Each structure stands twice: as structure tokens, then as C-alpha cells.
């Protein structure tokens, strides 16, 4: 299982890198826009530094043609490092770019996946990760759980090395369902982590345990 953060906000990446078993960071142009204007490659290099070499960084191309996507990928690899996973939209231009970039040995995350059709083509094209958009599918009345399950089945049946990196989550239940359906990895916004770990019931349980300890033994004193 891999848990990734879907943000470029450095204080959140530093914070949750210390809290959760973090496997990496994903970004896209919309996530970057939320951060406001910044020097893109300098910022991404800072994230890479926080993550270190063992955690994955996924950075998206912006070009609209295969040639422009490949040029974007080369720039990302040059300015950050050659281990970055290049996020490529799974359309005609993107699949063309994925085939070429895989030929060059580039790590690929095929993204903007809404259908089984897109995902199966990306698996066959050799994508290292495929990123189905779970909540966006749900909003379109597509059974996102069934799509993730179909990808897991196809990967097993074809003994493909592709991993499912499920994305676009609206709540914790979608995350756990994607994992139960066979996703090897999930990328979440900080809002999901906060709602999953900040439930009032958890806080109440901790408060109750503290009160019971103190009533029995007095104030806790392990930490000076
Ligand atoms: C992954 O990085 C995806 O681009 C992202 O999860 C999409 O999320 P959204 O549907 O909330 O925009």
C-alpha cells in the first residue's frame, strides 16, 4: 500500500511526512494554481528534497501535443531529476507520448482516467502508475469501485507491472474502497487526512483514556 499527498503546499508535505507513512507527492496544474504563483522548478526541487530519493514525486505535463508533452517531460527530468514520475493525460496525444517516453526509460503516471478503456490502454502502453479519478467518476455516475477492480483484474491477468494510483477523492470511504478494490496506491488531499484522523470520536476516546488514567494514577509524568 502506498499513501501519497495530492498537494504542493510545502508546510503540509513536511508536516504529514512526519505523521503518516508517506510514499510520495502528486501534483497537477490545478493543485499548483491553488498554491498561487511560485517558481515552479525551484519549488518542485524543494519537495523532492523533503521526500528524499525513496519517495515518488509525480509532476504533470502541460503540452497539448505528444511532441509538447515529451518536451515538457524532458524539461521536468532535467530541472528536477530523472526519477520523477511524469504525469501524462490518457488521451491520443498522451498515449503517443507515453509510448515514446517509456521507450526512453522514463517513469510514467497515466492520469485523467475516467474509464476502463483509458486505463487498459495505459496499462498496455507500459505506464508505471495509472491514476483513475475516483470522485470525478462518482460525480459522473460511473461506478468508480468497479473501474478500479477491473484495472486490478487486468493487471493480474496480464502480469503487468502497472500500479493503480487512485486519485480525486472526496472522502475517506472512497479511499478505503479504492484500496479494497485493488488500488496499490492512493493520493489524498490534506482535507481527507484531517477528516480521517480528526474525527471527534477519536478525540473523545483519547480524552476518556486520559481522564481514567489520571483518576487512577494521577497526572501522567513520563515526559519531563
Ligand atoms: C491527481 O493528482 C489528480 O490530478 C487529482 O487527484 C485530481 O483531483 P480533483 O478531482 O480533486 O481535481
- Are the beta carbons of 123 and 130 closer than 8 angstroms? yes
56 Cβ below 6 A of ligand 1: no
Over residues 95-123, the pLDDT tens digits come to: 999 999 999 999 999 999 999 999 999 99
The grid cell for 1 is: 500500500
Over residues 32-60, the pLDDT tens digits come to: 999 999 999 999 999 999 999 999 999 99
Query: How many CA atoms, within 13 angstroms, populate the side-chain half-sphere of residue 81?
Result: 13
101 Cβ below 6 A of ligand 1: no
pLDDT score, position 164: 98
Q: What is the CATH number of the domain that holds 142?
A: 3.20.20.70
60 Cβ below 6 A of ligand 1: no
| Residue 43: domain span | 2-196
CA of 204 to the centre of ligand 1 (A): 32
74 Cβ below 6 A of ligand 1: no
CA distance 99 to 168: 25
**Does the reported pTM lie above 0.90?**
yes
Residue 204 falls within a domain, yes or no? no
Residue 224 falls within a domain, yes or no? no
- What is the distance, to the nearest Å, from the Cα of residue 160 to the centroid of all Cα atoms in its chain? 20
Which is catalytic among the residues 33, 87, 99, 163? 87
How many domains does one find in the chain?
A: 1
Over residues 150-167, the pLDDT tens digits come to: 999 999 999 999 999 999
- Are the beta carbons of 8 and 29 closer than 8 angstroms? no
Over residues 203-212, the pLDDT tens digits come to: 999 999 999 9
Residue 215 falls within a domain, yes or no? no
CA distance 57 to 176: 22
CA distance 192 to 187: 10
Amino acid at each position: 500500500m502506498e499513501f501519497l499527498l495530492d498537494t504542493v503546499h510545502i508546510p503540509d508535505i513536511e508536516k504529514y511526512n512526519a505523521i503518516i507513512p508517506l510514499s510520495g507527492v502528486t501534483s497537477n496544474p490545478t493543485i499548483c494554481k491553488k498554491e498561487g504563483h511560485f517558481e515552479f522548478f525551484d519549488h518542485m526541487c524543494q519537495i523532492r528534497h523533503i521526500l528524499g530519493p525513496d519517495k515518488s514525486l509525480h509532476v504533470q505535463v502541460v503540452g497539448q501535443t505528444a511532441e509538447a508533452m515529451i518536451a515538457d517531460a524532458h524539461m521536468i527530468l532535467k530541472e528536477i531529476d530523472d526519477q520523477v514520475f511524469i504525469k501524462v493525460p490518457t488521451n491520443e496525444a498522451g498515449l503517443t507520448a507515453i509510448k515514446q517516453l517509456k521507450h526512453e526509460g522514463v517513469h510514467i503516471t497515466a492520469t485523467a482516467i475516467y474509464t476502463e478503456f483509458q486505463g487498459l490502454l495505459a496499462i498496455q502502453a507500459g505506464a508505471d502508475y495509472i491514476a483513475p479519478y475516483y470522485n470525478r467518476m462518482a460525480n459522473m455516475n460511473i461506478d468508480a469501485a468497479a473501474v478500479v477492480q477491473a484495472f486490478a483484474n487486468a493487471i493480474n491477468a496480464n502480469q503487468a507491472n502497472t500500479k493503480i494510483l487512485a486519485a480525486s477523492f472526496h472522502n475517506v470511504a472512497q479511499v478505503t474502497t479504492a484500496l479494497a478494490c485493488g488500488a496499490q496506491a492512493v493520493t489524498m488531499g490534506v482535507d481527507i487526512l484531517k477528516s480521517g484522523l480528526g474525527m471527534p470520536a477519536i478525540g473523545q476516546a483519547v480524552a476518556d483514556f486520559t481522564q481514567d488514567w489520571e483518576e487512577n494514577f494521577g497526572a501522567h509524568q513520563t515526559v519531563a
